[in-house]
Amino acid sequence: MNLLIITLVLILALVAHRFSDKFGLPSLLLFILLGMSFNLLGYNFSNYELSDKIAKVSLMIIMFYGGFGTNWNMAKPVSKPAIVLSSLGVVVTALLTGAFCYFVLKFDFYEAMLLGSVVGSTDFASVSSILVSKNLNLKYNTAPLLELESGSNDPAAYTMTMVFIALIAGNDISVPLMVLKQVIFGIVLGFIMGRVTMRIINLGRLQDDGLLVVLFAAIVFGSFSLAEILGGNGYLALYILGIYIGNKQFVGKRDIVFFFDGLSSLVQIGLFFLLGFLSDIGKLIGVLPTAFIIMLAMAILIRPITVFGLMLPFKLDKKQLGVISLAGLRGAAAIAFAILVVNSGVNLSIDIFHIVFGICLFSSFIQGSLMPIVTKKLDMLEPNDTILKTFNYYQDKSDIGFIQTRIPPGNKWIGKQIKELTHTFNIIVAKIEREGKTVVAKGNTVIKENDIVVLGGETHFDRSGHNLVEITLSKEHKWANKQVSQIPMGDKELIIMLQREDGEIIVPQGNTMLYPGDMVIIIKE
């Protein structure tokens, strides 16, 4: 019977998703309402201990895949403001929300600060869902900024939540030391586990045996557990781990992308359904006015103050700041942290779960519904592009691949038309980046000096890897500080690629210098 109910829930979730696309309501809001409807039908559920475990695993998957799907090359131009918002932004939002609850709503001080911490982060699933479902490709790289912020700010909210839980419980802790351990161990462990994972992938033929997914599951759960044992932030470790691995290329990556695409969608549905399912309608109605006041204060006062204040050094456009302010949706993390608080056993005078429920409900419905309208009113919509597809999307999910090359002075391509270059091989010039602008490459488009030409074609992946040899040059290596032409190579081997220590990829020529720290890739027959 339970399996039939789960089947029904998943089918109804698919219907809700289609309904969302057709009528413009946020799909995650519909999942909450779906959970509430089962509650109203008499399927009572109040197991917070089980819910805490489900929410923790769900957030682990969401955090890891949020990092995994982050194209760092696209995110790098907006990384500084995004990181400020995802760290200091959460702290300021939490403290201001706590102050509002303390001074205006007369909450207990620590309880007010705990509530502010729980709802301090914006929700990646909600923000991404709105951007994609409404096809909101925003001007000034705003979409990558929002996705990077919302994908990386949950660890800060988690740390603050844990701090105030400990203070309310009366634990003797050093707050600065606790925060420092959370951040340092989280970041360091994320990078270490990323390197370990890539080493295992490169050494083993896991894709051939279908074990790559098993490895990733083990790494995700293991990284989170190790971080918690060390006193670090497990969610931060998973996000860093996801970014590290997601920006590497390896055999079977496409399978991992499809697997986590489906899994992250499933846990998002489950998490929002669980929120509705756990709710007590009577208690919810009782706190709705309080939840609405807090959400309103956060949306029209606290979030704008935080965004406009912290973004002053970056000189962002005011219309852009307006959209960023509105995009402060609350969702999955707030749900998980509210359940964590209830399950922690601390005595509270407020019903934090149902207040957070109401905040998420109002935030998803009001702010989520207003996003497309406000975006158009502020003229922030980029009509010539789409948020749905990027070059990275196709490389990860299809057999299409893209490479880029800069046209140096004196290159024989300068002055030639595109149609003169693409007849010989089955490739296409996908686009040209010229002086910071994108040029759509037509047949009669002329290539100029310093153009960055992006070529597209069918990718090749050597599944065996037996033909490739990878060497990282040490200071004492005999090839260090020599030109490629000076390296003695046999007739059946060739240096095909270099990667500098800073990550720069170089296609080697005879006069290309090899330096200590370079990774040299050689192909052999």
Distance separating the N- and C-terminal Cα atoms of the chain = 59
- Which regions of 1-115 does DSSP assign to beta strands (E)? none
What is residue 1's predicted lDDT score, i.e. its pLDDT?
47
Nearest to 431 by CA among 464, 390, 466, 383: 390
DSSP letter (8 states) at residue 16: H
The C-alpha atoms of residue 437 and residue 31 are separated, in whole angstroms, by 41
What is residue 510's predicted lDDT score, i.e. its pLDDT?
84
Element (H, E) at 472: strand 468-472
The C-alpha atoms of residue 94 and residue 80 are separated, in whole angstroms, by 20
Question: What residue type is assigned to position 356 of the chain?
Answer: V
Cα within 13 Å of Cα(380), Cβ side: 26
What is residue 338's predicted lDDT score, i.e. its pLDDT?
92
The C-alpha atoms of residue 272 and residue 462 are separated, in whole angstroms, by 41
Where the chain has pLDDT below 70, the residues are: 1-3, 5-6, 9-10, 13-14, 16-29, 125, 129, 131-136, 204-210, 382-402, 421-426, 457-468, 470, 503, 525
Handedness of CA 505, 508, 513, 517 (dihedral sign): positive
Do 9 and 341 contact (CB within 8 A), yes or no?
no
List Cβ<8 Å contacts ≥24 apart for 200-206: 201/250, 201/251, 202/250, 202/465, 206/252
The C-alpha atoms of residue 327 and residue 265 are separated, in whole angstroms, by 20
